[in-house]
Structure 1
Amino acid sequence: MAADEDRIPVIIGVGEIKDRPAEPREALEPAALMAEALRRAAGDAGDPGLLDRLDSLDIVNSVSWPYPDLPAALAARLGRRPARLNYGPIGGESPVRFIHEAAGRIARGESAVAAVTGAEAAHAVAAARKAGVALPWTAPDPTASRVRDRSYLRPLARRLAASEPTNVYPFYENATAAAWGLTPAEALAEDAALWAAFSRVAAENPAAWIRRGASAEEIATPSPANRPIAYPYNKLMVANPMVNQGGAVLLASRAEARRRGIPEDRLIHLWGGASAVEPRDYLDRDQYAESHAQNAVLDACGRIAAEEGADFSVLELYSCFPCVPRMAARRLGLPPDAVPTTTGGLTFFGAPLNTYMTHAACAMVRALRERPEATGLLYGQGEFVTKHHAVVLAARPAAHPAAHATGMPRVARPHGVQDAADAARGPVPAFAPEPAGDAAIETFTVLHDRDSAPTHGVLICRLADGRRTLARVPGAEAGTIALLKRQDRSPIGLPGRLRPAADGIADWQPA
């Protein structure tokens, strides 16, 4: 092998914690959850002293508690500050990226022992707020804002509330169903069956927040406990951030693992990976029936597996909303009954915001240890189908690490496949901020209040001149709302006409 044997990167330990005390003041804050997850990861590796050797620590962005300096708070709990202490940006793909980058640093000889960790405690924060009690945690930063920055989105999207993930992913959900030739009823049945399968995986995962299987009928049917959120999604189809969970992954070179006496059958190898992004404002994309960045990343990982003569038999496809794993599964050519999770998904396992994929890595490591012949795909995604990163994992080292002349293995080289994503992108229609006239539905959703009543429909429309715009259907327009939510036929492509309302927003009426 051309690559330096001493620098082959491996995952050596994983750790998780779920914290659910009845009294919120007894709950652990995020920094404490991270510290405990790291200790458990070192214990999983069989060497508690590993944390003293830690030279690199990536912290996944944490939202539930506004620390003035989260890296410092975690370092204090660990009793040491690694030479590289990095706090990441928001993004559900970031744990996968951190794992991939840590492996690259190890392969280049820049790091010996590295870790990735993240945690959230939104459940405790909400419970304390409801009870009117103060949490005895690190003093929060009084200047921190809890409002996500959405300034990169168009003002009209923000006015229509089409600026939160729960309200944007349905654009892809409805567009993909129409592109695949499914009726809304058929698409909902696929979603519900997949999510029911995810719930069964979560039920068997001790680290999961919701450990009960849900039937497809329960998931698909609106009820007081499963209210509609944004059509076609009910509550049991969206990510659940109200959890207290922490996870950690420890990496090292294979030589360091051997020096520490870690058994070979505990080591998980990284063969490589890929990353790409979509235009950040979803209105600047060419269409909503697929993601070119997702396709490029999955294709690249498929090539890595093919070079090794392997197929993906253990998968974690990011699952904030059903359209994401369903798009990915189709691109990968998975059979309809495939269950692409080892963790349980962001609805049932729980969605500790940006750090779900840290837990997914833990679950995949355990799965690959149990199935040493298998090959795993760990695929994460962030923002609005925007950021994509995946890595290929296995219990065995790569037979063909694709080392080039300098001996640099594949895992240590640049992983971007942005050129492939950009090359696949078609023309992007210009945006019309003050539209009028004829307009056909490109994709859509219907938003609901907490009493399950529709507040309004949000439509991405194409004007007669080809430009794109956003339009509204008022919730009081019961007939048009019913048209959007028909189960036997998608409204995508239906012609209509825009009329300006008193607030300046264009309302859509069917032709």
Structure 2
Amino acid sequence: MRNDRLPVLVGVGEVRANRKRMVAEAREPLALILEALDLAGSPQLVAAADAIYTVRTASWAYDELSVDVAVAVGATPSHRDDSPIGGQWPIRLLDRAATRIASGESSAALIVGGEATASATALLKAGVDPVADLGWSTRPGGPTPIDGTDLGSRAMQTAGLLLPTRVYPLYENRLQADLGLTPAENADWSARLYADLSAVAATNPVAWNTSALSAEQVGTVTPKNRLVCEPYPLSMNALPFVDQAAAVIVTSLAAAEAAGVPADRIVHLHAAAGADDLPDVLARPKLGRSTPLADALTGAIDRAAVPTADLDFVDVYSCFPVVPKLAGLALGLPRETVLSITGGHSSFGGPLNSYSLHSLARAYARLRGTDKKGLVHANGGFLSYQHAVVLGGRPSGSEYGTGEVTTRADGLEVADARDLGGTDVVVETATVEYDRDGAPRQAFVVVRTEDGVRAAVATPRGDATAAAEWSLTARPTHVGQQALLTVNGGVPRLEVRDWASRT
């Protein structure tokens, strides 16, 4: 017996705007989102949507973006969901929408998101007021404020680990050591991986950067491709200064057919899974792996009952190289596997929380009218929140598979380094941040005591000599290095024992 409640995608729309960052072409995110909805087609289903889900916009603030969208498209949804900050939300919201459709609570839903960071930045530089001069929304308007909890735990913030650009390299450098790779071997892997992503982006009509780069171009440090935090040059960091928006229409199979959607415009949602790590990076047992990432990927695949080898594509969130690396390792895929059909955050563009909506749009285009299947993954926070979905051009033959988001509960004790003066520690991972002139600015080091207590120490900001001691240009790894943690005048420092033995 056919299940009319099977959740399906019936339309997607994507927008890339104001790539030249012209003041005259600047539009707020809501305008871009509405254009994406127009491009998604099915105006009958858009107006009939009984649920609207929005991914948090960071470049411009809206009290309730779902209300603005509903009014603009003439919909009267009984259910609305405006997400907080986090890159996992496009897939997590899709899972929520699909679950409600499968249970009969909903029949048609819209999922939208977008950013106008390129335009907002251009207007600021030009001294143009988006509200007074261009009529942008004032509900409440202005950039979305960042909640302190989005910057990590108090221990992380105290040690300066409040930016993704500083945290993801810690995972990368620990992974390199765990795999027994030299810095050069690991850098080559990253460069080849991101060169492949740039080639994908070059074929994507809404990508921000449209040039396919060689591995040498990606991996070579130059004044234009400066080091940000070791081992990542600028080309391996997400690019948030874009104007991009996307919209997805998800309905029940019955609603799609009632609206006259042709069979070759329907993509079926098979299963999804989510998993969250401890919010405090310093409390996580391992800093070279992500158990929640592996759980989300394998959970979606297991619930869909689709072997990894049968997937036509795997599209992985790629804000930094360590994320697709960890995903490939979790799935047992060869290192040369291209883990994106979108193009990655540094080439396609990184519209902050809504990147994976674009991945869903690419998946829809790849799967509709075929017998193929694929997986789309989304990541949020500091490798903190994971969600994945398996989709196919045909029904799975079973009900939509989802479940509760699993949450890690076991963690290490974390201490303020200032409370550990005179303690012997072992280095677990480290990274060095560079200034725009290419000089070492500050090092960030994660250590553990003999009793298993974790702490983080930063060198004095601007002390190039102290930061350079932790550079991977001086030694292949810091992992396992023994040191004495001292505190002088309230400032924690690491006295490393015998650097020479590790060169």
Q: What TM-score does the superposition give when structure 2 sets the normalisation length?
A: 0.92
TM superposition shift of 1:68 = 4.0
Taking only aligned residues, the RMSD between alpha carbons, in angstroms, comes to: 2.2
Q: Which amino acid aligns with 1:435?
A: L
Cα distance in 2, alignment partners of residues 58 and 51 from structure 1: 12
Residues 82 and 140 from structure 1, CA distance in 2 versus in 1: closer, same or farther, beyond 3 angstroms? closer
Cα distance in 1, alignment partners of residues 412 and 483 from structure 2: 22
Residues 305 and 312 from structure 1, CA distance in 2 versus in 1: closer, same or farther, beyond 3 angstroms? farther
Would you say the 8 A contact 2:314–2:376 is kept in 1?
A: yes
Would you say the 8 A contact 2:48–2:75 is kept in 1?
A: no
Within the candidate set 17, 23, 29, 1:19 is matched to 17
Cα distance in 1, alignment partners of residues 192 and 463 from structure 2: 32
Would you say the 8 A contact 1:279–1:386 is kept in 2?
A: yes
Match of 2:468 in 1: 481
1:331-367 Cα shifts (integer Å, max 9, x gaps): 1011221101010011111111100000110011111
Percent identity between the aligned chains? Answer: 35
Would you say the 8 A contact 1:472–1:508 is kept in 2?
A: no
Cα distance in 2, alignment partners of residues 322 and 494 from structure 1: 25
Would you say the 8 A contact 2:274–2:296 is kept in 1?
A: yes
Match of 2:393 in 1: 395
Matches within 5 A, 1:178-189: 178-189=177-188
TM superposition shift of 1:458 = 0.5
Would you say the 8 A contact 1:473–1:481 is kept in 2?
A: no
1:367-409 Cα shifts (integer Å, max 9, x gaps): 1127x2321111111001111111110101012x2xxxxxxx3
TM superposition shift of 1:171 = 1.2
Match of 1:416 in 2: 405
TM superposition shift of 1:430 = 4.1
Matches within 5 A, 1:112-191: 112-135=107-130, 136=134, 137-139=136-138, 141=140, 146-150=145-149, 153-191=152-190
Would you say the 8 A contact 1:32–1:74 is kept in 2?
A: no
1:321-340 Cα shifts (integer Å, max 9, x gaps): 11011001111011221101
**Is 1:439–2:425 an aligned residue pair?**
yes
Q: Which amino acid aligns with 1:19?
A: A
Q: Which amino acid aligns with 1:468?
A: R
* Counterpart secondary structure, 1:507: strand
Match of 1:54 in 2: 49
Moved more, 156-165 or 173-182: 156-165
* Counterpart secondary structure, 2:4: helix
Moved more, 104-113 or 200-209: 104-113
Cα distance in 2, alignment partners of residues 309 and 435 from structure 1: 46
Match of 1:493 in 2: 480
Matches within 5 A, 1:273-422: 273-306=272-305, 311-369=310-368, 372-399=370-397, 401=398, 409-411=399-401, 413-418=402-407
1:3-53 Cα shifts (integer Å, max 9, x gaps): x521111100010011115522432211111111111112xxxx3322121
Q: Which amino acid aligns with 1:314?
A: F
Would you say the 8 A contact 2:15–2:206 is kept in 1?
A: yes
* Counterpart secondary structure, 1:484: coil
* Counterpart secondary structure, 2:447: strand
1:113-142 Cα shifts (integer Å, max 9, x gaps): 111000000000000001111121112527
**Is 1:63–2:50 an aligned residue pair?**
no
Q: Which amino acid aligns with 1:16?
A: E
Cα distance in 2, alignment partners of residues 183 and 143 from structure 1: 45
Within the candidate set 53, 77, 84, 1:82 is matched to 77
**Is 1:236–2:235 an aligned residue pair?**
yes
Would you say the 8 A contact 2:60–2:116 is kept in 1?
A: yes
TM superposition shift of 1:230 = 1.1
1:282-331 Cα shifts (integer Å, max 9, x gaps): 11111111111112112212323445796222111111111011001111
* Counterpart secondary structure, 2:247: strand
Cα distance in 2, alignment partners of residues 18 and 386 from structure 1: 28
Cα distance in 2, alignment partners of residues 207 and 309 from structure 1: 28
Q: Which amino acid aligns with 1:243?
A: V
Would you say the 8 A contact 1:198–1:345 is kept in 2?
A: yes
1:389-432 Cα shifts (integer Å, max 9, x gaps): 11110101012x2xxxxxxx343x524344xx55xx6x624434
* Counterpart secondary structure, 2:47: helix
Match of 1:405 in 2: none
Cα distance in 1, alignment partners of residues 113 and 150 from structure 2: 26
**Is 1:510–2:478 an aligned residue pair?**
no
Match of 1:456 in 2: 442
Cα distance in 2, alignment partners of residues 50 and 465 from structure 1: 59
Match of 2:252 in 1: 253
Within the candidate set 457, 470, 473, 1:471 is matched to 457
Match of 1:28 in 2: 27
Moved more, 80-89 or 210-219: 80-89
- For structure 1, the residue ranges without an aligned partner over 5 or more in a row are 402-408
- For structure 2, the residue ranges without an aligned partner over 5 or more in a row are 498-503
